[in-house]
């Protein structure tokens, strides 16, 4: 038995915000009361801490199979727990991609051997992510995929994507769109604007993103599938998402913490840790996204954890791999926004727990008696400095090294088991 004493319990979905003790037994929350005392129970003293429904990261790259030097399912799960996540969804752009049932089964088996963080694989839309031939969604779903995505690229052929969406709709599979018109983005490496001209780097206009957001919303309406827009980086994309929501379409969207903090002017350093796809946009886009996480246009925040090796990052900006190892900084960056007054604590917890569960259409974690004890404990006041050398992920590629943040996940429990604790 585990007794969590003295914490503030905050579960926005179920309108819970109170101080109470919580008793966990055999994986479940069995009692919540002002004061609980049980002889022989393990005690977690959580005075001044906040107990939240377990956080879910719906956009991670675990790199296994194929690129285990960057991350394995085991190291990614370890990093996830340390970052405060009880469940993660992993993208299919591995080598080979997760485009068939046996690869899905392999991921599920590896995940079972890891630390207990729930892993939900996302299947590819087309075989080899080549944009030509649809995968077998039905048999992949039987093995465990919870969505399909071509993340890393878009399916550029609208006819093929329409068929994929229709197939997904028949199996109630969420389609997650990486929105990028590759003919427009070309060999671009940063946002198009005054800074791409000043720094002499090949540009990617925001239109490369919002054209595909518009197209994919239109196609999802035609096919009748649920659509989720991944890593929204630009204000113009928000326009199409708001419009889709107003029309009552089943469209959701995420952004990642780096799009809420970083902008294209910062590339003056040519630091390849700032290279990400979609690229960091203007300061106005950052402000628009900060508004969108508040007003509900954005349904959840995902890390887009994209670990890369130093060999792939310590090169010229042009040829560096895009991506940020973000799973251990994501929660801290979101809580820091609470301390900066950008969003409320309730909204932050929603964006990290109920929001992603709703997007994936899975039961949300909850702080009620009888629920599975999937819990993230946060210290909203903890001040800490991002130090990639302490990451549990193999990927040390972060532009946030040295950032002083306020707010951190300090313990992660899955089915009552403590997977991570600083307490």
Q: Can you give the binding site for ligand DOR, defined by CB under 6 A?
A: 61, 93, 151-152, 178, 276-277, 306, 322-323
Least spacing, CB of residue 21 vs ligand DOR, in Å = 42
Please say whether the beta carbons of 338 and 385 come within 8 A: no
Residue nearer to ligand DOR on the CB measure, 151 or 379: 151
Least spacing, CB of residue 401 vs ligand DOR, in Å = 17
Residue nearer to ligand DOR on the CB measure, 215 or 231: 231
Give residue number: closest CB to ligand DOR: 323
Residue nearer to ligand DOR on the CB measure, 87 or 179: 179
Asked if residue 155 has a cis previous peptide bond (ω within 30° of 0), the answer is no
Q: Cα torsion for 233, 238, 241, 243, to the nearest 10°?
A: -170
Question: For the chain, how big is the Rg over CA atoms in Å?
Answer: 21
Strand 50-53 with 375-385, pairing: antiparallel
Least spacing, CB of residue 363 vs ligand DOR, in Å = 28
Least spacing, CB of residue 193 vs ligand DOR, in Å = 19
Least spacing, CB of residue 322 vs ligand DOR, in Å = 4
Least spacing, CB of residue 93 vs ligand DOR, in Å = 5
Residue nearer to ligand DOR on the CB measure, 152 or 416: 152
Strand 2-11 with 50-53, pairing: parallel
Q: Is 419 helix (H, G, I), strand (E, B) or coil?
A: strand
Catalytic one of 99, 181, 236, 304: 304
Instruction: Compute the distance between CA of residue 351 and CA of residue 255 in angstroms, rounded to an integer.
Output: 10
Instruction: Compute the distance between CA of residue 156 and CA of residue 171 in angstroms, rounded to an integer.
Output: 23
- The sheet with strand 174-177 has its strands ordered as 55-60, 85-90, 118-123, 147-149, 174-177, 227-229, 251-255, 300-301
Among 171, 159, 167, CA closest to 215: 159
Residue nearer to ligand DOR on the CB measure, 129 or 412: 129
Residue nearer to ligand DOR on the CB measure, 123 or 323: 323
Among 334, 333, 323, CA closest to 396: 323
Please say whether the beta carbons of 191 and 264 come within 8 A: yes
Give 415's DSSP letter: T
First-to-last alpha carbon distance for the chain, in angstroms, is: 17
What DSSP element (H or E) covers 242? helix 235-246
Among 255, 218, 226, CA closest to 342: 255
Residue nearer to ligand DOR on the CB measure, 30 or 174: 174
Least spacing, CB of residue 20 vs ligand DOR, in Å = 41
Give me 198's structure tokens. 């000043």
To the query of whether residue 314 is one of the catalytic residues in this protein, the response is no
Catalytically annotated residues: 304
């Amino acid at each position: 038995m585990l007794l969590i004493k003295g914490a503030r319990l905050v579960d926005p979905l179920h309108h819970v915000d109170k101080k109470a003790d919580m008793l966990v037994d055999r994986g479940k929350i069995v009692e919540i009361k002002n004061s609980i005392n049980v002889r022989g129970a393990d005690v977690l003293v959580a005075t001044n801490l906040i107990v939240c429904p377990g956080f879910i990261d719906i956009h991670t790259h675990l790199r296994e199979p194929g690129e285990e030097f960057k991350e394995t399912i085991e190291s990614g799960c370890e990093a996830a727990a340390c970052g405060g996540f009880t469940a993660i969804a992993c993208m299919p752009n591995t080598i080979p991609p997760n485009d068939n049932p046996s690869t899905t089964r392999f991921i599920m088996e590896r995940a079972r051997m890891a630390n207990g963080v729930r892993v939900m694989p996302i299947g590819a839309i087309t075989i080899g992510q080549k944009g030509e031939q649809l995968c077998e969604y039905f048999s992949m779903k039987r093995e465990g995929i919870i969505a399909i995505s071509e993340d890393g690229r878009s399916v550029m052929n609208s006819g093929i994507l329409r068929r994929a969406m229709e197939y997904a709709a028949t199996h109630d599979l969420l389609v997650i769109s990486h929105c990028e018109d590759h003919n427009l983005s070309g060999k671009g490496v940063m946002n198009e604007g005054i800074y791409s001209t000043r720094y002499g780097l090949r540009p990617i206009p925001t239109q490369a993103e919002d054209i595909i957001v518009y197209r994919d919303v239109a196609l999802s309406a035609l096919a009748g599938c649920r659509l989720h827009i991944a890593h929204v980086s630009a204000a113009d994309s928000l326009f199409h998402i708001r419009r889709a929501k107003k029309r009552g379409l089943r469209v959701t969207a995420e952004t990642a913490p780096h799009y809420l903090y970083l902008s294209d002017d910062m590339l003056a350093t040519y630091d390849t840790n700032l290279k990400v796809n979609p690229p960091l946009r203007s300061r106005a886009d950052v402000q628009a996204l900060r508004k969108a996480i508040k007003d509900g246009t954005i349904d959840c925040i995902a890390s887009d954890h994209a670990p890369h090796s130093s060999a792939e990052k310590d090169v010229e900006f042009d040829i560096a791999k895009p991506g940020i190892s973000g799973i251990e900084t994501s929660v801290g960056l979101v809580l820091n926004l609470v301390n900066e007054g950008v969003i409320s604590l309730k909204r932050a917890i929603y964006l990290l727990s109920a929001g992603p569960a709703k997007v994936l259409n899975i039961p949300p974690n909850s702080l009620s008696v009888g629920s599975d004890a999937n819990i993230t404990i946060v210290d909203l006041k903890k001040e800490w400095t991002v130090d990639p050398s302490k990451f549990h992920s193999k990927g040390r590629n972060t532009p946030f090294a040295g950032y002083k943040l306020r707010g951190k996940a300090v313990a992660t429990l899955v089915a009552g088991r403590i997977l991570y604790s600083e307490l």
